[in-house]
Chain A
């Protein structure tokens, strides 16, 4: 099901998800007196990337397992990384996305982030079903951030880029909410959403082993952890493209000095209209690689890691 279908057929979806919840949730009911229910969350109006108006409580979170983050589309570094990482989680949870698990990326910059802009953003990241991008009244969004505990007071006026990149995952029906970081392992996030906040029988992970069969792995190589926590959500080490290109032979394909600079400050390289950078930018849906402000040694270790 395509993303827009979910909202175009909102009522049907709702019925389906209610049925789904009946079929997989425990027979106990949501707590009537949960402090984190309809009295806590406002039912304010947001608009999704389809231009459709939705209610935060009734339509987005009620009886659902959700991940909610706050982004803005022209955010250079943290938001694309966050979006790319959530994309990985979404892949793992593909069979449940839009059924009982939903992702919401809410813009903290409603003036710029119109539904059209969000639509384009979602397409650039090739997000799948069950993930909506929302915008709304600035004060409403601020209120949501405060209620979800994701509002950083001391830096709010400095710049949007300083907004908290943490996000909340929760299950409205059981009243459980936990904060997560976008740089968590996608697998660990998927387990949180798919099992810890969810139900026993909805979760299947073929990676898990009994004690005897559990794989034990040696230490990571130098640069590997950096790659894993900062690069892997967009790039594979093989030929296969993700949000960004597959990196097989990248150290042979590209000049070392260029690669070094590109990893260190992709935003500057692009601003200089470097032809390779411009070409990559256009080819990969205008998703610019984040500037992680790596130091020289880190860049060096990454290049070494990719070379091996």
Chain B
């Protein structure tokens, strides 16, 4: 057995080398190698397998330093010269964290307030102590509870001084004057269309060090701990400090209740507290987010990672560039930055200008719909916002500078009907009427029920979260004392060895036996996931005897509701990397498609199919060896029995491993041999979230995703299913007229073989590293405001065996082709803002997509969302320009005393793009 494991490991190492170096050879050879080795290994000895391994390895140089896994991403050992990962201990000082013992933390709402008055008497609490300190938590809460202390303004507020000016002068020699707002001064970063979209609501938060939750947001939750599952007796009622007042007051920042409290400089996050934060926003209600920077003045006070200057990117928001979080528009400690998020639908200027459709609307608070202008096909749902500081995004996001944001609309209201009458669309509450109860499809103009009635709850007019749950997935690592750690010198990508959901190590969640919507966000730094949903089957004593995959549905991709609900697990037709044609064999793929960093998949899982008391698990199947990208997709049966590795690394000879019982999943049985110690296997594959099914006494009137599949069976016949949001494809004429651009990630010229660049179009002969000065593309707004936005076609290419989840800011696009052919069904019916290229089954090395630019202008970005890649130069600046604009935007250079500007430069192809691609690209 021992020999078999060794042979298996060697082969896997070789395979990973094959994948890295000669990707074109891979899929079939890889399969045959695995099959051959398995067969040989399962016979009497492993000679053949070792033989294969040795023969293959002679083609590639495999040394100890590079072989196998490096998780958590380790630095090289100075004595041995090897990368030797040290597992993040699960037992510290005798206190042990075990999987599925921590109750999940649900997101806390920021809570927005009406922007009516300001309170100029309150000031950001001072830094007490030395230059590396942060403000006192209680004082900070008092401050944040008050109204804004200055009126938000169109131009950055540079007339007032930094709230910490005295201390800054003390700590930063040479500073003689400071400014209050970090937003770059002047017209370029003035809020666009400020008078047209006046902010009605605001919220403020301070980015600051970890501290105990002081209850700041306890009375800002829309549910008020009074409705549905959030009311006393409900599943999600919480009173952390047990004082009788519900809420998260008293919650400490710990990655598991049994693990140590995080130091103030280990975690920097919104308010400095857990749970993670959620912004609930609705269309037509423009917002101001005042983001205070309350981090240490001393840049070195960071426990080894994270930068005290920050920029906040609302991921895929239809916002002006000044509020998009450009990497070089950032704030310093003591400053704030006002982000203006107008909450308008794309197409605002050109489509449905008179706001004449109930489909383009927002909840009015009383069962009705407030109509807004724009294109209802552009309705968005699940976003997040996170740090975008140049060179430090990975570190800052990992450290906690990330929050989620749900958009609410007439279509996606977060309100399911309380009863059948509501579902049918009774006249006094038309906003509650369910589309499924309407005989017209939603795309029909006479459809009157536009609410999709997605699983949510019915206690509130909108934004019910009883059965609509935000989940952020991220791998983390910590040091021997339990403090979060990050390796800033591993530039290929950083992997943690512990899976967390909503900042807790492998939690559990009580759920009702009914439909749930989960908004899954990949919030990792360098890790992609592939998530399966699996039910545990137990014997009469409750012992797990086997597992089975249960059907579930993807309804939104990258936060955008799709045309159809996609059933999973699904049979797929992978693209042959050599012939570029779909493989004729359809294979059943376990779980969701690969989910790259920053990708969001909204899914519906129906727990009614599981007996009360039953358990369902989310399982990660995507294995990584290092931060360059996933190395393989594991089978459920191989990894579901992965034993928890407690504290120290298990070895292949450990009796604990040998004692693993046989596991059966969907009828397949194996003795799990997967050693998830970070050296022989990836500790983050396997089960990571446990659902415990409880009785549901209500009637589930939420949308049944089955009705919205591409085809449905009615009376034995296959007919087209209902639609959620149909994809509004650009017209052939628009595609033909489109400027085309090519962005090749990780390619470069012959003298710079490092994969750290983006090559734009075909002009410069080589890849270029990120430079805030360089404009690489400059799409133009339409000449007349009511023209449709100009369509462009962007070709996104990857290279080699690396995976790059490429994110384009500002606007989602539609994938025309993936790998040169039609995209898979979950992308065909989707609008995407992350375009994943890479070697895995669900990725390809190229994507051609169509995207429109309208309403706002300025400096935006496009980059690899493996944030370690992004920070190390895999980023491109592009500007949306106004018609006739001939001069480039200058680049802001923020500093303690305010922002100066430097000259920008631009590539010669910024206006016309890649002409050779335009000639040769064949439209789908």
Give the residue of B187, B871, B905 whose beta carbon is less than 8 angstroms from that of A228: B905
User: How many A-B pairs fall under 8 Å by CB?
Assistant: 227
Q: Name the prevailing secondary structure of the A interface residues.
A: loop
Q: Which of A10-18, A95-103, A237-245, A288-296 contacts B (4 or more CB under 8 A)?
A: A288-296
Complex: chain A residue closest to B75, CB-CB: A147
**Would you call B656 an interface residue if the criterion is a C-beta within 8 Å of the partner chain's C-beta atoms?**
no
Partner of A225 from B78, B895, B907 at Cβ < 8 Å:
B907
A81 to B766, CA, bound (A): 14
> Residues 162-196 of chain B: 1 if any A CB is under 8 Å from the residue's CB, otherwise 0?
00000000111111000000001111100000000
Chain B interface main SS type: loop
B304 adjacent to A218 (CB under 8 Å): no
Complex Cα–Cα for A42 and B79 (A): 10
Residues from chain B with Cβ under 8 Å of A182 in the complex: 752
Given known A42-B78, A155-B753, contact A188–B906 (CB-CB < 8 A):
no
Kindly identify, within residues 735 to 764 of chain B, every residue whose CB is under 8 Å from any CB belonging to chain A: 749-754, 756-757, 763-764
Question: Contacts A183-B769, A211-B188, A220-B905 given: A226-B764 contact, CB under 8 Å?
Answer: yes
Q: Is the CB of A181 within 8 A of B66?
A: no
B132 touches A181 (CB 8 A): no
Given A154, A185, A202, which contacts B20 in the complex, CB threshold below 8 Å? A154
Residues of B within 8 A of A218 (CB): 886-888
List 17 A-B residue pairs with CB atoms under 8 Å apart, sorted by A's residue number. A27-B170, A28-B300, A78-B751, A81-B751, A142-B81, A149-B490, A154-B20, A164-B754, A165-B753, A166-B756, A178-B871, A181-B873, A208-B901, A209-B890, A219-B910, A226-B765, A228-B905
Q: How far is the CB of A142 from chain B (nearest CB, A)?
A: 7
* Complex interface bits, A156-189 against B, C-beta within 8 A gives 1, otherwise 0: 1100001011100000011111111111110110
Cα-based distance from A216 to B766 in the complex (angstroms): 26
A20 within 8 A of B: no
Asked whether B903 lies within 8 Å of A207 as measured between CB atoms, the reply is: yes
Q: Does chain A have a CB within 8 A of B353?
A: no
Provided the pairs A146-B76, A175-B302 are in contact, do residues A181 and B757 lie with their beta carbons within 8 angstroms? yes
A143 in contact with B173 (CB, 8 Å): no
B488 x A220 contact (CB < 8 A): no
Query: What's the minimum C-beta distance from B332 to chain A, rounded to whole angstroms?
Result: 10
Q: Are A219 and B171 in contact (CB under 8 A)?
A: no
Please report the C-alpha to C-alpha distance between residue A201 and residue B177 in the assembled complex, in whole angstroms. 12
Once the chains bind, are A292 and B750 in contact (CB under 8 Å)?
yes
Are A200 and B175 in contact, CB atoms less than 8 angstroms apart?
yes
A183 to B488, CA, bound (A): 22
> How close is B607's CB to chain A, nearest CB, in angstroms?
44
> What would 9 more interface pairs be, CB under 8 Å, given A165-B751, A217-B903?
A28-B301, A153-B63, A166-B756, A176-B300, A199-B173, A209-B901, A212-B186, A219-B888, A225-B764
- Determine if A124 is an interface residue (Cβ-Cβ < 8 Å): no
A148 proximity list for chain B (CB < 8 A): 489
Q: How far is the CB of B677 from chain A (nearest CB, A)?
A: 21
Is B817 part of the contact surface with A, judged by Cβ < 8 Å?
A: no
Is A139 within 8 A of B81, CB to CB? yes
- Which residue of chain B lies nearest to A196 when distances are taken between CB atoms in the complex? B391
- Taking a contact as CB atoms under 8 Å apart, the answer to whether A153 and B65 are in contact is yes
| Contact A143 B751, CB 8 Å, known A219-B906, A224-B908 | no
Docked pose: A291 CA to B752 CA in angstroms: 11
Q: How many residues of A contact B (CB 8 A)?
A: 84
Q: Are B172 and A294 in contact (CB under 8 A)?
A: no
Determine the distance from Cα of A36 to Cα of B485 in the docked complex, in whole angstroms: 12
Q: How long is the Cα–Cα vector from A146 to B301 in the complex, in angstroms?
A: 25
Interface of A toward B, CB cutoff 8 Å: 24-28, 30-31, 33-36, 40, 42, 77-78, 81, 139, 142-143, 146-150, 152-157, 162, 164-166, 173-185, 187-188, 191, 195-196, 199-202, 207-212, 214-222, 224-226, 228-230, 290-295, 298
Q: How far is the CA of A196 from the CA of B887 in the complex (A)?
A: 27
Q: Kindly report which residue of chain B lies nearest to residue A79, judged by CB atoms.
A: B751
CB neighbors of A among B61-84 (8 A): 61, 63, 65-66, 75-76, 78, 81, 83
B391 partner residues in chain A, CB cutoff 8 A: 178, 196
The answer to whether A24 and B890 have CB atoms under 8 Å apart is no
**Residue contact A217 to B887, C-beta cutoff 8 Å:** yes
Do residues B888 and A217 form an inter-chain contact, with CB atoms below 8 A?
yes
Q: Bound state CA distance, A182 and B752, in angstroms?
A: 9
In the A-B complex, the 7 residue pairs with the closest CB atoms: A201-B174, A211-B186, A214-B901, A293-B750, A216-B887, A208-B900, A181-B769
Determine whether B771 belongs to the interface, using a CB cutoff of 8 Å to chain A: yes
Is B300 in contact with A34, judged by CB distance below 8 angstroms? yes
A222-B908 in contact (CB<8A): yes
Most buried by B among A26, A78, A155, A212: A26
For the complex formed, measure the closest distance between the CB of B743 and the CB atoms of chain A, giving whole angstroms.
Answer: 16
B904 beta carbon closer than 8 Å to chain A: yes
- Chain A residue with Cβ nearest B82: A146
Min CB–CB distance B252 → chain A (angstroms)? 22
B residues near A214, Cβ cutoff 8 Å: 890, 900-903
From B172, B185, B489, B765, A298 is in contact (CB under 8 Å) with B765
Which residue of chain B has its CB nearest to the CB of A207? B902
- Cβ of B299 < 8 Å from any Cβ of A? yes
Q: Which of B186, B489, B769, B893 contacts A147 (CB 8 A)?
A: B489
Residues A216 and B888 in contact, CB atoms below 8 Å apart:
yes
Is A78 a contact of B752 with CB atoms below 8 Å?
Answer: yes
Point out the residue from B185, B751, B897 that lies within 8 Å of A293, measured CB to CB: B751
Residues of A within 8 A of B188 (CB): 211
Contact B752 A165 (CB under 8 A): yes
Contacting pair B893 A143 (CB below 8 A): no
Q: A residues within 8 A CB of B298?
A: 26, 28
CA distance A24 to B175 in the complex (A): 12
**Quick check: is B491 within 8 A (CB to CB) of the other chain?**
yes
How close is B166's CB to chain A, nearest CB, in angstroms?
A: 14
Structural contact, A215 and B764, CB atoms closer than 8 A? no
A75's closest neighbor in chain B, by CB?
A: B751
Cα A178 to Cα B390 with chains together (Å):
10
Contact B299 A294 (CB under 8 A): no
A residues less than 8 Å from B890 (CB atoms): 209, 211, 214-216
Contacts of A176 in B (CB 8 A): 299-300, 307
Determine if B553 is an interface residue (Cβ-Cβ < 8 Å): no
